[in-house]
Amino acid sequence: MLVRQQLVKTISIAFSLMLAVTMTGCDNKNSSSETSQTSDNTASVTTKTITIEHEQGTTSVPVNPKKVVVLNPATLDTMDALGINITAVPQTDASLPPFLSKYESSDYQNAGSLFEPNYEALSNLQPDLIIAGGRANDAYQKLNEIAPTVSLTIDSHNFLPSLTQRVEQLGQIFEKQQAAEELINQFKQKVATVKEKATNQGNAMVILVTGGKMSGYGPGSRFGFIYDELGFAPATTFASTGLHGNVINAEFLLTVNPDWLFVIDRDNAIGRTDSPSAKQLLDNALIHKTNAWKYNHIVYLDSASIYIAGGIQTYNILLDQVSDALDQASTQSDEDVEDESDDMDENVIYDEEQDTTQADEITIAGQE
């Protein structure tokens, strides 16, 4: 009897142990399965990528990255318009235009300067994406070793298609395709409106003033938007479409005699105060003889925007300035026509009075 009880007890213990092992195995299996599933889900989120063609080649970048470094002010300009969150930007002595001034605050990490990124700080940040271009192009290779890097410079030789592509690419990367499309459509409509106003408004020249000197820019150049997209005929052609333009002076402007002058004051854009401003430099006897001066067709563009930034918000500002100048010129032209018409009417009335007087004199003479 005792032997039987011991046997039953032994079997019971063994069964309990087997059951415990089995349940533990199931738990481990379930836990492993859940962990694997979680890992797979995480991987699917973090590895979603898109291929971007850019100035330096083709790069696979994460979709909707969280830590984003932007070294190109033109891209910063457009990303701000799309409402995209940014982690780090350059902090330099050159002030950003007012609509981008918030990026100068300590809310954004310092990515270095426009020309020299802070590689150590960027490495410590471990960004998901770096957007270079413009002044930071030379740093591309080193940046690409830190994180996927794309160079989204806008091609001034092919401005509108290039700008459109860059806005679309940002929309794709940050899943803001609809906002990007709306931004592009609104911009193109504004370009068409201003271009229509510029029809038959004469020729033009874009000049940059810095350090008391002037440079001229023609079609296909850094500031060729005035000709290439708005349709102003160039007052002259230049040998170079390079970044720094072509050296000119007041005598040259008088010889070319543009109907319109569009002026960028670089010193004003970078905060330089040790040389004459653009307005001071152009206020001289030779410039006074040009059509642009005579007809009040000198337009001082928003220099901080066009020189420092240069994205879609910048060009919307430029379009507004050109549109306002054309409207003012049209109003002045209408007033001049009215004044000429009034002068003609006065002359006609005067002539009629003379004719009446002469007729009376003839009649009187006839009576005599």
The rounded distance, in Å, linking the Cα atoms of 211 and 75 is 28
Asked if 317 and 212 sit in the same domain, the reply is yes
Q: Is residue 356 part of a domain?
A: no
What are the angstrom distances between the C-alpha of 182 and each of 75, 81, 257, 313? 17, 11, 40, 13
- Amino acid 336: pLDDT: 56
Q: Which of 211, 215, 259 is nearest to 238 (CA)?
A: 215
Asked if 147 and 243 sit in the same domain, the reply is no
What mean pLDDT do residues 153-182 have? 96
Last residue of a domain, one of 145, 175, 205: 175
Asked if 205 and 322 sit in the same domain, the reply is yes
- Amino acid 310: pLDDT: 95
- Amino acid 277: pLDDT: 95
Q: Is residue 338 part of a domain?
A: no
- Amino acid 168: pLDDT: 98
Q: Which residues contact 269 (CB under 8 A, 6 or more apart)?
A: 94, 303, 304, 306, 307, 308
- Amino acid 320: pLDDT: 98
Provide the residue type at 85 as one letter: N
Confidence of residue 289 (pLDDT cuts 50, 70, 90): very high
Asked if 170 and 204 sit in the same domain, the reply is no
Asked if 237 and 323 sit in the same domain, the reply is yes
Nearest-5° Cα angle at 227, 285 to 280: 25
Q: DSSP letters along 221-285, please?
A: STTTHHHHTT-PEESS--S--STT-EEE-HHHHHHH--SEEEEEEHHHHHT--SS--HHHHH-SH
Helix (H/G/I), strand (E/B), else coil: 4: helix
Average pLDDT, the chain: 84
230: CATH: 3.40.50.1980
The rounded distance, in Å, linking the Cα atoms of 335 and 25 is 93
The rounded distance, in Å, linking the Cα atoms of 352 and 356 is 6
Each residue's pLDDT tens digit, 85-139: 999 999 877 789 999 999 999 999 999 988 899 999 999 999 999 999 878 888 9
What mean pLDDT do residues 54-69 have? 96
What mean pLDDT do residues 304-319 have? 96
Each residue's pLDDT tens digit, 124-147: 999 999 999 878 888 999 999 999
What mean pLDDT do residues 36-53 have? 63
Domains held by the chain: number? 2
Supply the pTM of this predicted model.
Answer: 0.79
Q: Which residues contact 198 (CB under 8 A, 6 or more apart)?
A: 230, 231, 232, 322, 326
- Amino acid 345: pLDDT: 54
Q: Is residue 2 part of a domain?
A: no
Asked if 323 and 258 sit in the same domain, the reply is yes
What are the angstrom distances between the C-alpha of 156 and each of 16, 111, 160, 267, 303? 79, 26, 8, 22, 17
Query: Which of 87-91, 325-329, 361-365 shows the lowest mean pLDDT across its residues?
Result: 361-365
- Amino acid 46: pLDDT: 53
C-alpha torsion angle, residues 143, 148, 154, 158 (rounded to 10)? 120
CA atoms 315, 321, 324, 325: torsion sign: negative
Q: Which residues contact 259 (CB under 8 A, 6 or more apart)?
A: 201, 202, 203, 204, 235, 291, 292, 295, 297
Asked if 153 and 232 sit in the same domain, the reply is no
Last residue of a domain, one of 315, 330, 345: 330
Q: Is residue 318 part of a domain?
A: yes
What mean pLDDT do residues 335-359 have? 49
Percent of the chain with pLDDT over 70: 78
Cβ atoms < 10 Å from Cβ of 351:
10
- Amino acid 321: pLDDT: 98
Asked if 216 and 253 sit in the same domain, the reply is yes
Structure tokens at 342: 């009034």
Asked if 121 and 228 sit in the same domain, the reply is no
Asked if 299 and 253 sit in the same domain, the reply is yes
Q: Inform me whether the pLDDT recorded for 191 exceeds 80.
A: yes
Q: Is residue 27 part of a domain?
A: no
Q: Is residue 4 part of a domain?
A: no
- Amino acid 47: pLDDT: 72
- Whether the CB-CB separation of 304 and 99 falls below 8 Å is answered with no
Confidence of residue 357 (pLDDT cuts 50, 70, 90): very low
Asked if 253 and 290 sit in the same domain, the reply is yes
Confidence of residue 330 (pLDDT cuts 50, 70, 90): confident
Asked if 140 and 218 sit in the same domain, the reply is no
Q: Inform me whether the pLDDT recorded for 72 exceeds 50.
A: yes
Q: Inform me whether the pLDDT recorded for 80 exceeds 80.
A: yes
Question: Residue 54's domain spans which residues?
Answer: 49-175
Q: Is residue 309 part of a domain?
A: yes
Which residue did the predictor score with more confidence, 32 or 48?
48
Q: Is residue 230 part of a domain?
A: yes
Last residue of a domain, one of 330, 346, 363: 330
- Amino acid 332: pLDDT: 75
